[in-house]
Amino acid sequence: MPSPRRQIVTTALFEAFFVVLGVVLALAANEWRQDRADRAHADRALAAIAEELRSNREGVLAAGEYHEERMSRIYGRGPQEPRLEARDFPRGFISPARVFRTAWDTAGETGALEHLDYAKVLALSRVYASQDRYEHQARTAGELIYAELFRGGTEAIVANQGNLAMVIGTFAYRERELVAEYDSLLVHLEGAR
């Protein structure tokens, strides 16, 4: 028969083992719950980003169609047709899409991106960088057009069809490129679900 002291030590070790096991299991359960909550947050953020990109794609596609139509109007005119006028540009000489990045920024600020696959975050980041370049192009072109409007009015812009066509053509090209980027990324995101 073991000594009373040895029985106390054995009982204490046995109880300590179960206390430690209970703490470890509780910590593991908390970590599992937190990981699950983080993944759910990341999934909601990714769904919001995908919806934002689909909306941006539709806007860019519509802007591209407008710019393509303006290019056709400039280049498709026959010599007998009257010269271009400002009314040939009902939405302005250029009409870039308004693209949003709210879901992307929010996902970054709330830490949701930390719980997404790195390759997915990198692909998303590239598309948002392309959007930023598109917005920069729109601001720059807008500033140039407004400066020309103040100098010579709408007639000066319409009269310089070559430069106008170049600016509009650049937008049409960039919008086709951006739509292709959206399409590629959205197919990838849908396939990854």
Q: For the segment 62-112, what is each residue's pLDDT rounded down to a tens digit?
A: 999 999 999 998 888 766 677 788 889 999 999 999 999 999 999 999 999
- CA–CA distance, 32 with 133 (Å, rounded to integer): 40
Question: What's residue 78's pLDDT?
Answer: 65
Flag whether 81 is in a domain: yes
Flag whether 22 is in a domain: no
- CA–CA distance, 120 with 188 (Å, rounded to integer): 9
* 10-residue averages of pLDDT along the chain (193 residues): 78 82 79 78 94 98 97 79 85 96 96 93 97 96 91 88 92 97 92 59
What is the number of domains present in the chain? 1
Question: What's residue 74's pLDDT?
Answer: 87
| Phi, psi for 10 (deg, rounded to 5) | -65, -45
- CA–CA distance, 66 with 167 (Å, rounded to integer): 13
Flag whether 101 is in a domain: yes
Flag whether 161 is in a domain: yes
- CA–CA distance, 166 with 112 (Å, rounded to integer): 41
Angle made by CA atoms 127, 132, 134, in degrees to the nearest 5: 95
Flag whether 8 is in a domain: no
What sign does the CA torsion over 157, 163, 166, 167 have?
A: negative
pTM listed for this prediction: 0.81
Question: What's residue 1's pLDDT?
Answer: 64
Flag whether 99 is in a domain: yes
Flag whether 177 is in a domain: yes
Question: What's residue 80's pLDDT?
Answer: 67
What residue numbers bound the domain in which 50 lies?
A: 39-191
**Whether 45 contacts 106, CB under 8 Å:** yes
Burial (0-12, 13-18, 19+ Cβ within 10 Å), 164: buried
151's tokens: 């100098």
Flag whether 9 is in a domain: no
